[in-house]
Amino acid sequence: MNLLSCGPNPPFLPCSSSSKPRVFMALQHYHSTSPTPFSAFNNNPPLPTSKFPQKPFNLHSLKEKCKQGLLKEAFLSFTKLITHQNPSRVISLDEAYSSILDLCATRNSVAQAQQLHAHIITSNLVSDSVFLSTKLVFMYGKCGHLSHAQKVFDEMPQRTVFTWNAMIGGCVANGRPFQAVDLYREMRASGVALDAHTFPSVLKACGLLGNLDCGSEIHGFAVKCGFDSTVFVVNSLVAMYTKCDRIDEARLLFDRMIDEKDIVSWNSIISAYSANGQSREAIQIFREMSKAGVAVNSYTIVGALQACEDPSFVKLGEEIHGVILKAGQQLELYVANALLVMYSSCGRIDEALRIFHGINEKDNVSWNSMLSGFIQNELYSEAVEFFHEMCEMGLKIDEVSVISVLSALARLGNLSNGMEVHACAVKHGLVSNLQVGNTLMDMYAKCGNVSYMGRVFYNMPYKDFISWTTVIAGNAQNSSYLEALELFRKVQSEGIKVDCMMIGSILLACGGLKSVSHAKQIHNYIIRRGLFDLVLENSLVDVYGECGETNYASLMFETIENKDVVSWTSMVSSFSRNGLANEALGLFHRMGEAGIELDVVALLSALSAAASLSTLKAGKEVHGLLIRKGFPLERSSASSLIDMYARCGTVENACKIIDHVGNRDIVLYTSMINAYGMHGQGKKAISLFEKMISSGLVPDHITYLALLYACSHSGLMDEGREFFRTMESDYKLEPWPEHYACVVDLLGRANCVDDAYNFVKDMPIEPPSVVWCALLGACRVHSNYEIGEIAARKLLEIEPQNPGNHVLVSNVFAAMGRWKDVDEVRMRMRSLGMKKNPACSWIEIGNKIHAFMVQDKSHPQSIEIYSKVSQITERLENEGGYLADTKFVLHNMTDEEKKKMLYGHSERLAIAYALIVTSPGVPIRITKNLRVCGDCHTFTKLVSKFFEREIIVRDANRFHHFKNGRCSCGDFW
C-alpha cells in the first residue's frame, strides 16, 4: 500500500515539474546525514506550492478532520488549502501545518509528515518558524525518529521552553533517559525558564534510570519554582519515587495532596503499590478511592487488576470483572489484557483463554500476555504451540514473545526448536537485544549446548551483569567447570559487580572439579567481600562435601545461625556421599528432633544413607515418611526407593515400587535392571530390558552398563557379549571404559581369562585402570598368574596413587606365594602413606548397627561370640564335612594360624552374633565392605542349611542369598 496516500491512490494534486525538484532537493539535503532512508518519497508526488488564487479557504474544515483522525481526508483538504492560499493569510498556513503535523504524530505517519517538512522548507510561507520547528521536533520524537528530531532541534537558531520540552519528551519516549537528563541540565544552564510541563518528562527519565539523587534534586527545583502543588507534577513525582523503590516517599506526596487529588493521582498511587508487589496496600487505596466518591476509569481498573495478580486477591479480581460486565460497556483492550494477565497469574488459565478469545482486535500485548500465562502456569508445550500459532497468523514477533517462548523451550530442553527461534530472532533483527541474548544463553545452557551458549555470549554487542552471571552458571551447570572459573577471573579483572548468585555458580564449579583449594579461595573471597547469605553458606557445606572435606563441611554447618532444611540436607548428603552413612542417619534424626520440616530432597538423602548401610529398618522408616507427608511416587523418589530396597537385600520390595509407578521412564527401568543384577537375577534383568524396549524407550549408556553388570553377575556370557554388540550397532552408543570392564569381568568370571585378555588387547582405546582391575580380579580367582602379573604391572603403571590397586596386586602376589613381591608392594604403600581398608561387616539388630572387624574383640559380647563361632565350626565340620580352605588367607603364616585367621573373619563374627540374639527362623542380613572370600562363602552356605536360616550378605560386588545350603550367585561371584 502507498504509505503517503493512506489508501489505494495518492490524494495530492499533481505539481509542476519546476516545483518537484525543489521539494526533493530540500528533503535530501536536510536528511543527507540521516541514518534512515527516504526512498519512500520517490514513489509519491510532492505537495504542490501555492498558486495564490483569490478563492478563500475554510481552515476550520481541515482542523475538524484532523481532530477526527481522518488522515486521508485531512491531506485532501490540506492540498486544496496550499493550492488556493492567499498570501495575506499566511498565518492560516501555519495553523494548517500545525494541525496536520499533530495528526501525523498521533497516527505515527512519519512518511506524510516528512513531505510536510519538505514543503515547509521550500514554500517560504511560514510566519513562525520556531513554532513549526517545535511541532516537527515533537512529531519526530513521537514517531520514533529521534535522530531527525535532534537535527531539527540542533539547527533551530531560537528555542522556546516548548521546544526543550518536546525534545526531552522525545528522548524519554524513545528510551534515551540519559539524553533527556542531559538536555534538562543544558536547558537549565541556558537560562530557559522552565514551566510545569518540563518536569513530568525529566522525572520519568529519572525513574527509568532509577536515579533517586537526580530525581530528588529535580523535586527540590520544582518546589523552588512553585510547581510542587501542580497536580500533574506531583503525580510525576509519585511515579518517579515509585520507580526508584521509594514507595514511602511516593505515598507521603500523595497524602499531602488532600483535596487536590485528581483521578491520575489515585491511579498513580494504586499502580505504584501494584508495581511494587504491595497488593494489599493497592487494594486499600482502591477502596478509599471508592469511598471518596471518585469515579474510576479504565486506568484505575487496570491498576486494581494488577494488584489482584496475587492469587490471594483473585476473589476481588473476579468482583471487578463482574462490575465491568454489569456496566454493559465494550471491554477496552488494555482492560481486557489486564484481566487476562490477572487470571493467568492466579492460575486460572482457562478463564484467561476465555478472555483472550473474546478480544476482537488483539494487539501484541494480548498475544504476549497469553503466551506468558502459559509459561507462568508451567504449560510449556502449550506455550510453544501458541507461539507457532502466532507465527502462522503472520503476527509481528517482538522481543517479548521471543523471550517468552525461549523460556518455555529451555524448561522443555527442546534444543531444535530453540535453535529455530534463534533463527527467527536473527530474521526479525532481535538478536542484538540484550534480554533476547541473555535468554538465548539460558536456553542453550538448559539444553546442554555450551558451545552455542558461548557463541551467543561472545557475539553480544553489549553485555550486562546478567549476561556474565548466565554464561558462568551455564558452564558450571554443564560441567564446563574450568571455563566457568576463567570467566569469573575476567569478571574480576574487568571490575564487574559480583553477587551471591554468581558466587554460587563458581562454588558449583569448585565442587565439580573436587578442588578444595579453589573452594577455600572462594570461601575467603566471600568473607572479604561480606557476601555471606544463607544460600551461600549452604553451598559451602555442599561444596566441601563434594570435595571430600567433611570436617570443613561440618564446621561450616555448625556456624550457620539460622539453619533451614537445605542446610541440614546439604550436611546429610555430605556425610552420605563420603561413606559416613551412620553420621548421615544420625544427623537426619537430629534434623527431625530440631523440628525442621522435611522436604523430599532431605528424605532422599536419608534413603541414600540407609542404602549405603543396608539398614532396611531405617529405609522403611524414610519410605513411611514419604507416604505420610504425601510426596508423590515420582521418578527420583521411586528410583531411590528401588535402589534402597535392592541394596538392603529385598529385591521383592523394589519390584513392588516399580509396579506402582504407571508412567515409567528410562531411569526407573535402569534402576530395576541394576537391582536384578545386584541380586544375580540376570534373566529377569534381560526380560525387563526387553519390556523397556517394547514400550518405545531408548536405552542409554547407563542402562547398558546395568544390563552388562547383570549378565556378568549371572554368568550370562553369550547374552552379555551380544548386548555389547547391539549397544554399538543398533543404538550407536560408543562404549565407556566401564562397559569394556564389564565385558572383561563377564569373560573372567566364566573362566575365559585368555579371551578376556585378548579382548583387552583389541580394545580401540587405551585400556584404562578399571579394565586392568577387572582382568586382574579374574586372574586371581582362576589362578592365571601369567596374565595376572601383566595386569598388575599395568595397573600400578596407570594409577600408582590408588591404594586399592596396590592391595589387589598384593593379593595376587600372595596367592602366587611371591611373598617378597608382597612385601615390596606393601612397603611402597607405606612409603606413599597409603592404608588398606580393613575388612568390616555390620549387622542391624533392633535400632543399633553392630560392626565387626577381622579378629575383632571389641564387642561387649566378644567372648560369647567367639564361643559361638567355635560351636558353629565344630558342627559344620562334624555334620557338613566342612574343611577350612587356607588358600584364601593371603598372609605368610602356618596353616594353623591361617585357620584361626579364617575363624575370625568379620562376617563369621556377625553371623555368630545374629544366631545368639535373634529368634530362630528370622533372616540374617549382613553387609561387608570387601568381597566375601571363598571359604566364608562355603561356611555361610553350610550355616544356612544346618541352622535353618536365610542369610543375606551384601559384599563389595553383589548380594548373596544363602538358603538351604545354596547361594543365589551359584558360586559365581
205-228: pLDDT as tens digits: 999 998 999 999 999 999 998 888
Model confidence at 12, pLDDT cuts 50, 70, 90, reads: very low
914, pLDDT greater than 50:
yes
Give tens-digit pLDDT for 562-602: 999 999 999 999 999 898 988 999 999 999 888 888 889 99
Are 960 and 737 a contacting pair, CB within 8 Å? no
DSSP 489-528: HHHHHTT----HHHHHHHHHHHHHHT-HHHHHHHHHHHHH
DSSP per position, 535-552: HHHHHHHHHHHHTT-HHH
User: Is residue 47 predicted with pLDDT exceeding 80?
Assistant: no
**Residue with the three cell numbers 579364617:** 902
Nearest Cα to 339, choosing from 348, 326, 330, 328? 348
**Burial class of residue 950, CB neighbours in 10 A (0-12, 13-18, 19+):** middle
Task: Report pLDDT digits (tens) over 594-628.
Answer: 888 888 999 999 999 999 888 888 999 999 999 99
Phi-psi map region of 970: left, alpha, beta (phi>0 left; psi -120 to 50 alpha): left
Q: What was the pLDDT predicted at 31?
A: 46
The conformational region for residue 961 under phi > 0 = left, psi -120 to 50 = alpha, else beta, is beta
Q: pLDDT-derived band of residue 767, with 50, 70 and 90 as boundaries? A: very high
Task: Identify how many contiguous H helices and E strands the chain contains and give both numbers.
Answer: 51, 6
Q: What's phi and psi for 925, nearest 5 deg?
A: -120, 120
| Confidence grade of residue 86 (pLDDT, cut at 50, 70, 90) | low
Distance CA 558, CA 117 (A): 74
pLDDT at residue 16 greater than cutoff 80: no
Q: How far is CA 368 from CA 382, 425, 658, in A?
A: 13, 15, 42
For residue 886, what is the DSSP state? G
DSSP conformation class of 48:
P
CA 10 from centre of chain: 55
Could you tell me which of 706, 778, 722 has the C-alpha nearest to residue 745?
778
* Cα–Cα distance measured from residue 89 to residue 104, given in angstroms and rounded to the nearest whole number: 24
DSSP H helices in 560-634: 565-577, 581-593, 600-613, 616-628
The DSSP secondary-structure symbol of 49 reads: P
Q: How confident is the model at residue 59 (pLDDT cuts 50, 70, 90)?
A: low
Q: What is the pLDDT of residue 862?
A: 93
* Residue 684, all three cell numbers: 529377569
The proportion of the chain whose per-residue pLDDT surpasses 70, expressed as a percent, equals 91
Residue 217 is placed in which grid cell? 534534586
Whole-Å CA distances, 50 to 90, 93, 100: 11, 11, 17
Q: What is the mean pLDDT of residues 509-523?
A: 93
pLDDT (mean) for 55-77: 70
Comparing 828 with 12, which gets the higher pLDDT?
828
Please tell me the predicted confidence (pLDDT) of residue 126: 59
Question: Bigger pLDDT: 72 or 594?
Answer: 594
C-alpha cell at 871: 560351636
List Cβ neighbours of 918 (8 Å cut-off, separation of 6 or more): 845, 924
pLDDT at 33 over 70: no
Closest CA to 113 of 89, 137, 84: 137
Counting residues of the chain whose pLDDT is more than 90, the rounded percentage is: 48
Kind of pairing between the strands at 840-845 and 966-967: unpaired
382 against 290, higher pLDDT: 382
Which residue from 492, 581, 500, 576 is spatially nearest to 542, judged by alpha carbons? 576
Using left for φ > 0, alpha for ψ between -120 and 50, and beta otherwise, residue 694 falls in alpha
pLDDT at position 832, please? 76
Distance separating alpha carbons of residues 532 and 75, to the nearest angstrom: 66
User: Does residue 649 or residue 453 have the better pLDDT?
Assistant: 453
Residue 959 forms beta bridges with which residues? 954
Quick: pLDDT tens for 225-249.
888 888 889 889 988 988 888 888 8
The predicted pLDDT at position 917 comes to: 94
8 Å CB contact between 97 and 135: yes
Place of cell 560369647: 864
Q: Beta-carbon neighbour count of residue 138 at 10 Å?
A: 22
Which helix (H) or strand (E) covers residue 729, if one does?
Answer: helix 717-729
Residue 454 has pLDDT above 70, yes or no: yes
Give me the residues paired with residue 966 across strands. 963
Give the count of beta carbons closer than 10 Å to the beta carbon of residue 832.
12
Cα–Cα dist 553/580, whole Å:
13
Residue 963: pLDDT band with limits 50, 70, 90? very high
Spell out the residues 6+ positions from residue 401 whose beta carbon is closer than 8 angstroms to its own. Answer: 364, 367, 368, 371, 387, 390
What's the pTM? 0.67
Distance of alpha carbon 610 from alpha carbon 621, whole angstroms:
10
How open is the CA angle 122-128-131, to the nearest 5 degrees? 105
Mean pLDDT for the chain?
A: 85
Looking at per-residue pLDDT, the higher value among 43 and 783 belongs to: 783
* β-strand partners of 841: 852, 928
Predicted pLDDT of residue 8: 35
Read off the pLDDT of each residue in 142-151 and give the average, rounded to a whole number: 89
Give CA separation, 689 vs 284, 310, 483, in Å: 62, 48, 38
Q: Are 103 and 66 in contact (CB under 8 A)?
A: yes
pLDDT band at 952 (very low <50, low <70, confident <90, very high): very high
pLDDT band at 783 (very low <50, low <70, confident <90, very high): confident
Q: Half-sphere exposure of residue 515, counting CA atoms within 13 Å on the CB side? A: 16
State the pLDDT at residue 480: 93
CA 170 from centre of chain: 38
- Residue of 100 and 965 predicted with greater confidence: 965
Confidence class for position 873, pLDDT limits 50, 70, 90 = very high
Q: Are 699 and 732 in contact (CB under 8 A)?
A: no
Q: How many of the other CB atoms lie within 10 Å of CB of 34?
A: 14
* Residue-level pLDDT at 85: 55
Provide the pLDDT for residue 736: 92
Question: Quick check: 339 and 319 in contact, CB under 8 A?
Answer: no
Parallel/antiparallel/unpaired status of strands 924-928 and 951-954: parallel
A 10 A CB-CB count for 416 gives 8
pLDDT at 686: 96
Look at residue 10 in the predicted model and tell me its pLDDT. Answer: 34
DSSP tag of 661: -
Structure confidence at residue 50 (pLDDT): 43
Cα angle 161-167-170, degrees, rounded to a multiple of 5:
140
Is the CB of residue 962 less than 8 Å from the CB of residue 944? yes
Question: Taking residues 724-736, what's their average pLDDT?
Answer: 92
Higher pLDDT, 93 or 428: 428
Q: How does DSSP assign 820-842, residue by residue?
A: HHHHHHHHHHHHTT--PPPPEEE
Query: Among 322-331, 428-437, 481-490, 836-845, where is mean pLDDT lowest?
Result: 322-331
Spacing of C-alpha 475 from chain mean position: 12
Residue 456 has pLDDT above 80, yes or no: yes
